[in-house]
């Protein structure tokens, strides 16, 4: 048993260390791509939010202590701390949820004390009903606040409940006002930087696959690439969350229209990357199948023997296109230069794909064609689809490559 516990602890430590190393790599990529100033700009909303929390807590305490002479003024900054969120919309929503939870907890405590009495059973029942109510309305935070405030009222008396409600209103109002007045948060830069991060990681993986199939690879290499592709899929989920956070931040933002237009383009770029990652996973699974096929046949696993040379060149073209997509959403981009790189990568991929298709499909139409030829044909098709996704002129994600001027000129 002790050995199992030790091994579980070692596994958790290893996972924690892996997460730290991954975070450091992501930070280094972002600083290298954006520069120190660009990285600070991308982290600006988070840093400003920290400052606003401190200011809101201090103002809330001053108002509660010296304006309304609250008996427990520290409750006001507590409410501000719980209320203020990274976006205006979520701050308003959290403030309302906190107020509802405090009021409901006060009434729950008064009802329990008057009609049931204070006991282990009544305490458990009150907390249970509060949590259940929050679950039923889809607001677990309200349910938690009902239970917490009911317990505090029963412990500290009815006067606490009234003071808590008063200070909650002060803290919530101050939190929202500070979040509105002091640089309202906009997460378009954070979402844009996220596109750049995922694009760079995807491009790096494609280049590693290209180098591997050129130099020779085995099942272990292919499995490592496949695991990395699956990790990129998880990163895509995190990127989608950043875009959603940006859209929420824009709801009550003074620059609502401009931010929404930019977020539409970032969302389109996110979809483009997601589709490329999906096709990339399929391509790597095919490469993994080829590696196992060669191993079973005891053949030499060399990229020049397993994959047509034009197909390996296509992987490099696609990697350059993905990197250009990430660079397009950098705040310091040179639009003309990035579009030129995108088109050059697309055109090169088309030339290489024509030759790769000719070689891969030479015997694919033959009923006696081998299984390996079918896999190569599927790889060519996956590369063709990735190239199409990244086409800034005729692809399905042209909106991802628009500029502010393009959006302004578009018909409404």
pLDDT score for 372: 72
- The distance of Cα 180 from the centroid of its chain, to the nearest Å, equals 24
Q: Please say whether the dihedral angle defined by the alpha carbons of residues 218, 223, 228 and 230, taken in this order, is positive or negative.
A: positive
Minimal CA–CA distance to 205: which of 386, 24, 42, 348? 386
Residue 161 sits in the same domain as residue 205: no
User: Are residues 284 and 232 in contact, defined by beta-carbon separation less than 8 angstroms?
Assistant: no
Residue 198 sits in the same domain as residue 256: yes
Low-confidence ranges of the chain (pLDDT < 70): 1-23, 26-27, 29-31, 33-42, 158, 183-186, 253-257, 292-306, 332, 360-371, 404-412
User: Are residues 76 and 61 in contact, defined by beta-carbon separation less than 8 angstroms?
Assistant: yes
pLDDT score for 84: 85
Q: Give the C-alpha separation, 29 to 387, whole Å.
A: 24
Pick the last residue of a domain from 160, 181, 202: 181
Count of the separate structural domains present in the chain: 2
User: Are residues 285 and 172 in contact, defined by beta-carbon separation less than 8 angstroms?
Assistant: no
pLDDT score for 185: 66
Residue 158 sits in the same domain as residue 221: no
**Mutual angle of helices 309-328 and 256-296, in 10-degree steps:** 160
Q: Give the C-alpha separation, 285 to 283, whole Å.
A: 5
Pick the last residue of a domain from 149, 181, 213: 181
pLDDT score for 4: 47
Residue 145 sits in the same domain as residue 216: no
Alpha helices by DSSP H, listed for 250-308, are: 256-296, 303-306
| DSSP structure class, residue 65 | I
Residue 136 sits in the same domain as residue 201: no
pLDDT score for 374: 77
Minimal CA–CA distance to 148: which of 166, 159, 160? 160
Pick the last residue of a domain from 181, 208, 242: 181
Q: Measuring CA to CA, how many Å separate 384 from each of 79, 141, 228, 292?
A: 55, 48, 22, 24
Q: Give the C-alpha separation, 380 to 373, whole Å.
A: 11
Residue 66 sits in the same domain as residue 192: no
For position 218, which CATH number holds?
Answer: 1.20.58.220
User: Are residues 382 and 283 in contact, defined by beta-carbon separation less than 8 angstroms?
Assistant: yes
Kindly give, in sequence order, each residue whose CB lies less than 8 Å from that of residue 363, ignoring residues fewer than 6 positions away: 369, 370, 373
Residue 211 sits in the same domain as residue 132: no
Residue 324 sits in the same domain as residue 220: yes
Tokens found for residue 13: 């430590």
Q: Read off φ and ψ for residue 403, nearest 5 degrees.
A: -110, 175
Minimal CA–CA distance to 129: which of 115, 139, 111, 143? 143
User: Are residues 277 and 319 in contact, defined by beta-carbon separation less than 8 angstroms?
Assistant: no
Q: Give the C-alpha separation, 261 to 258, whole Å.
A: 5
Tokens found for residue 92: 């308003």
pLDDT score for 128: 92
Minimal CA–CA distance to 145: which of 104, 199, 110? 104
Q: Give the C-alpha separation, 139 to 358, whole Å.
A: 58
Read off the pTM. 0.67
Q: Cα Rg for the chain, rounded, in angstroms?
A: 28
pLDDT score for 133: 92
Tokens found for residue 1: 């048993």
Residue 194 sits in the same domain as residue 167: no
Alpha helices by DSSP H, listed for 137-186, are: 140-156, 158-181
pLDDT score for 376: 81
Tokens found for residue 70: 């609250």
Residue 52 sits in the same domain as residue 114: yes
Instruction: Give the range of the structural domain holding residue 167, as residue numbers without chain letter.
Output: 45-181
pLDDT score for 91: 85
Residue 136 sits in the same domain as residue 198: no
Is residue 14 domain-resident? Answer: no
């Amino acid at each position: 048993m002790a050995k199992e516990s030790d091994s579980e602890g070692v596994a958790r430590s290893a996972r924690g260390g892996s997460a730290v190393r991954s975070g450091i790599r992501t930070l280094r990529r972002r600083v290298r791509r954006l520069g120190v100033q660009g990285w600070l700009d991308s982290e600006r909303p988070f840093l400003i939010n920290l400052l606003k929390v401190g200011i809101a807590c201090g103002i809330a305490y001053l108002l509660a202590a010296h304006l309304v002479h609250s008996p427990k003024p520290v409750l006001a900054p507590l409410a501000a701390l719980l209320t203020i969120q990274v976006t205006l919309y979520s701050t308003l929503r959290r403030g309302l949820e906190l107020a509802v939870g405090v009021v409901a907890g006060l009434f729950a405590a008064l009802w329990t004390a008057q009609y049931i009495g204070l006991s282990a059973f009544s305490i458990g029942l009150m907390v249970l009903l509060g949590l259940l109510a929050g679950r039923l309305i889809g607001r677990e935070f309200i349910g938690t606040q009902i239970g917490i405030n009911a317990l505090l009222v029963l412990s500290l008396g009815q006067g606490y409940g009234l003071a808590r409600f008063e200070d909650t209103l002060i803290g919530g109002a101050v939190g929202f006002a500070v979040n509105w007045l002091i640089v309202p948060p906009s997460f378009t830069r954070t979402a844009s930087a996220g596109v750049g991060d995922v694009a760079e990681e995807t491009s790096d993986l494609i280049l590693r696959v290209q180098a591997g199939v050129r130099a020779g690879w085995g099942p272990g290499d292919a499995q490592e690439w496949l695991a990395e592709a699956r990790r990129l899929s998880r990163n895509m989920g995190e990127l989608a969350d950043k875009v959603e956070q940006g859209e929420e931040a824009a709801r009550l933002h003074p620059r609502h229209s401009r931010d929404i237009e930019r977020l539409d383009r970032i969302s389109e770029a996110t979809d483009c990357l997601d589709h490329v990652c999906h096709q990339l996973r399929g391509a790597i699974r095919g490469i993994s199948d080829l590696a196992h096929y060669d191993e079973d046949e005891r053949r030499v696993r060399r990229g020049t023997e397993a994959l047509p040379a034009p197909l390996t060149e296509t992987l490099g073209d696609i990697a350059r296109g993905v990197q250009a997509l990430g660079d397009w959403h950098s705040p310091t981009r040179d639009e003309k230069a990035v579009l030129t790189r995108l088109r050059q990568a697309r055109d090169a991929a088309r030339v290489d794909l024509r030759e790769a298709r000719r070689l891969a499909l030479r015997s694919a139409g033959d009923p006696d064609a081998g299984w390996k030829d079918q896999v190569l044909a599927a790889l060519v098709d996956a590369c063709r689809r990735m190239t199409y996704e990244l086409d800034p002129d005729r692809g399905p994600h042209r909106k991802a490559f628009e500029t502010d001027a393009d959006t302004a000129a578009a018909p409404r």
